[in-house]
Structure formats: structure tokens, C-alpha cells
Chains A and B, each alone.
Chain A
Amino acid sequence: MNCQLLKDHKERVWQIAWHPNGQILASCSSDKTIKLWQLMNDQYKLIQTLDDCHTKSIRSVSFSKDGQFLASGGFDAVVGVWMFDGSKYKLIQQLEGHESEVKGVAWSVDSNYLASCGRDKTVWIWDHDDLEFSCNCVLQAHDEDVKCIKWKDTTLYSGSYDNSLIRYTYGEDDEWDHKQFQIEHQSTIWSIDIFNKLLLTTSADCTAKLFSIQDGTIKPIQTLQGFHKEPIYSGSFSYDGLYFALGSADNKISIYKKDAIDELGYPHFALDQIFDAFEFDVNCVAFNPKNYLLAACSDDQNIKVFDLQL
């Protein structure tokens, strides 16, 4: 398998995120920096290091869907917002409000909202007016740390240390309503990914679960278990939804392929391949939004981009 090694972080790399154009990859690390890597002549080159925002580990990083903004969340309780000025990303604001570690940041599809979540059990929704970001509301619906958040259009989903999933919708009464789902994970939900009407969760219980989300319901379709022997920290759908990847603390990455559609019209996935990806924990996997390149990062300070040739 072809694989490129992206090496420059000085400590564990927590998360990676693709720019919507598929050409730039952002990575964040315990070394308190975000690095941007751009594909040039088939090689990923480090083009920028952002080190002027956080004073502790950076846990999460996310590009807005138009690529105009980059957001980050750190153990220092700060959310950073960067804007592209035509040549570089520049820090425009540090959002304060979380009481303790920020664990996830995510942009809504229209880039109007930024959400952040953390150990203080809250989800914050931020909006902006003339590039000035401010808090729209604080949602406290979980009983424990909120580990991950993901938008589907203008609906937000969060996963938690309390093993549950919560969906937030903006109601007609101009308030955010929420609904909690016990989705039978036996431990922390570490990640959520969404493709069209499919939602994928990964958990410390060493399983991943696939759900159908439509008409306001969350219907379980499939549980992937027995493939990983340690917590699964991350899951990611391919751009066409035909595949998804999981990355685990057992150092392995597994790839699943859509192989059947049942009588109710729900897709089922089967294991395509599983391989040793790093020497240490795989913290995050992310499929490129345009092709079958899969980026992954690890406690060994490295990032790899795999050409899966699917």
C-alpha cells in the first residue's frame, strides 16, 4: 500500500481534518500547534504552523465547508478561529467560555455556526456577524464529558463519556431542542461521522455502530465488533459513502465496504481490510472529501496518508 509519512509534530497528534478542496490537511497535537500540509507535486509539504493560540494540547481541528475558516479546541479551554486571507490562515479570535478542556469543534454545513464541546459537559454554539464570533447558546444535556460533535445540515449530534448520543435541532420557538438516545454502546462514544442518512459512532467498548437517521428517528442498522481489541477512537466515511474506516488504540485501521442492501433499503457493510497502521494508538482517521486517500494520525507524533486503491 502506498503511504506518505508527514513528520513534524513534536508530540502525539490528536486529530486531522481535510480542507473541503481535498488538497490541504490540518493536524493538531499535544505540542500546542496546528500544522497545515498541502499536496504539491504528489508530495505533502508543510505550508504553515499555527502556534499562537493555545497554551495546552490541541485536541480538535476543523475546516468550515467553504474553507474560509479553521477552528481548533484545546485542553486550555479555548476555541481558536482562523480565517484564510488569500495566502495564509490567521488567528482572528479566541473564544472563551468553556470551563475546562475543549474536546471537539465542528462547523455547520453553511459555515454560519461553530459548535464546541468539552469536559464541562456542555456544547456551545457560536455564530458570527461581520467576522465577530459570539456565543449563541450553551447546551447542557449530557451527564458527563462531551467527547465529539458532528453537524448534519442544521442538526447537531454529540457523543459522550455518558455513553449516549444527543441530537439538537433548532425549533420553531427559536430555541435549541434536544433529544437523548441510548444507543447501546457500553462505554464512551469517541467519534461520530455522518454520510447522507447514515450515522457512524465509535466507542471505547471496541465496537462501531451504524444507524439510519431519517424522519426524526435513529434506527440501528449494524454493529461492527470483533475487529478491534482496544477502544475505537475514530470513524470516517469515504466521499461517496461506499466505504468507511475505523482507527483504534490497537494501532490498527480497518476498512469496511458497502456490500448489500437489506429488504428495508438499509445498507450493510463488510470488512474489506484491516492493517497495522502505526506502532502506537491511532487517534483519528479521515477520508479525503474527493478521493480514496485516507489520512490518519497517532501517538507516535506522525501522520500518514494512505492511498488505499479501493
Chain B
Amino acid sequence: MQLENPKPQIFQTGNFEFSQQYIKRKQQEYDPEIEDPIDEYEIFDIIKTIKDPEHSFTLEQLNIVNPNDIQIQGNRVIVYFTPTIPHCSMAQTIGLTLKIKLMRSLPKNYKIYVEIKENMHIKEIELNKLFQDKERVLAAIENQQLLKIINFGIQGIR
């Protein structure tokens, strides 16, 4: 099969670990006096190992997801992702995989939004609407073929 983006750029992983915010959070983690709500780093930890549907790299390695593009407001989690190329036909699979992994991993009362980062894909509006449609997302995981692809992505690379 012809790869759409045969030589994707690979990024250094774990850069965020040097940010002041992350260092402070790490220090607080062991302090029993301080509450640790689910934050963007915890969300990132869940999604960073997902395997790209096309390449043998993780979404973190391809910079498709990063902690700066995750927002949390109470029990609302919004993950923005950046496809490697604006016409990437894998964007739908990546979005569904992100959404389904988060649905499985987070407490059930969380509202999860997965969106393509602004101006990063030619079908951005169309795909964002799909990721928001609960019925379509849930029907996708009842489709054995699609579920296999999604589970393979979730299985990831560690």
C-alpha cells in the first residue's frame, strides 16, 4: 500500500517533563495534603502511547497529541489533535481511537471532546462533528472491523 506521508517527522518525546508546571506537579504528587485532580498530563499519559494507524510510531512521537492541546474544565475534557498532513485520511481513525480510549479510561461521568486543532485538516468541521456524535462513535465500536483497528491503535507501542 502506498503511504500517504511516507516520511513523517519524528519528534523528541517527553519535552514537557522539563516545564515548570510539570516539575511542580510531580513534586506535589506525593504530598498527601494536596488533592490531585485529573489534569492534562494524566490525560496525555493515557493517549500518548496510541499507535498511529499508518506508521509504527506513537501519537506523541508524531506530535499528533501534546499536553498543551488538552483542556480540562471540571469534568469536561477537550483533546485537540494535529494530523501529520492536512489531507490525512487517517484523521477519522485517530479521532475515534482517542475518543474511545478516553471513554474507556476516564470516570463515566466525564464528558469527552476530541477535535482536530484549528486549520489543521481539510475536513476539520466534518470530522469534528462526527467525533461529537455519540451515536456514530458508539456504532463504530459495534462494527467488528473498525473495532479491531481501534483496539490495535489503543494497544499502542510502549
Residues of A within 8 A of B (CB): 30, 56-57, 59, 75, 100-101, 103, 119, 145, 147, 161, 187-188, 204, 230-231, 249, 279-281, 299-300
Whether B138 pairs with A280 at a CB distance below 8 angstroms is: no
Q: Which residues of B contact A280 (CB under 8 A)?
A: 108-109
Minimum C-beta distance from B136 to chain A (A): 7
A–B Cβ pairs within 8 angstroms, 13 of them: A56-B142, A57-B138, A100-B139, A101-B135, A101-B139, A119-B136, A145-B136, A161-B129, A188-B133, A230-B111, A231-B132, A231-B134, A299-B108
Proximity bits, B119-152, A CB within 8 Å = 1, else 0? 0000000000100111110110010000000000
Q: Which applies to chain A's interface (DSSP): helix, strand, loop or mixed?
A: loop
Known: A280-B109, A299-B108. A204 touches B139 (CB 8 A): no
- Bound-state CA distance A75–B138 (Å) is 10
Besides A204-B132, A231-B132, 9 new A-B residue pairs in contact (Cβ under 8 A), listed by A number: A30-B138, A56-B142, A57-B142, A145-B135, A145-B136, A147-B135, A187-B129, A249-B134, A300-B108
Q: Which residues of A contact B129 (CB under 8 A)?
A: 161, 187-188
- Bound-state CA distance A281–B132 (Å) is 13
- Top 8 A-B residue pairs of the complex, sorted by shortest distance between their CB atoms: A56-B142, A101-B139, A75-B139, A75-B142, A279-B109, A280-B109, A280-B108, A57-B142
Known: A57-B142, A75-B142, A187-B129. A103 touches B135 (CB 8 A): yes
Whether B108 pairs with A59 at a CB distance below 8 angstroms is: no
Q: Which residues of A contact B111 (CB under 8 A)?
A: 230, 249
- Bound-state CA distance A249–B76 (Å) is 12
Q: Which residues of A contact B136 (CB under 8 A)?
A: 119, 145
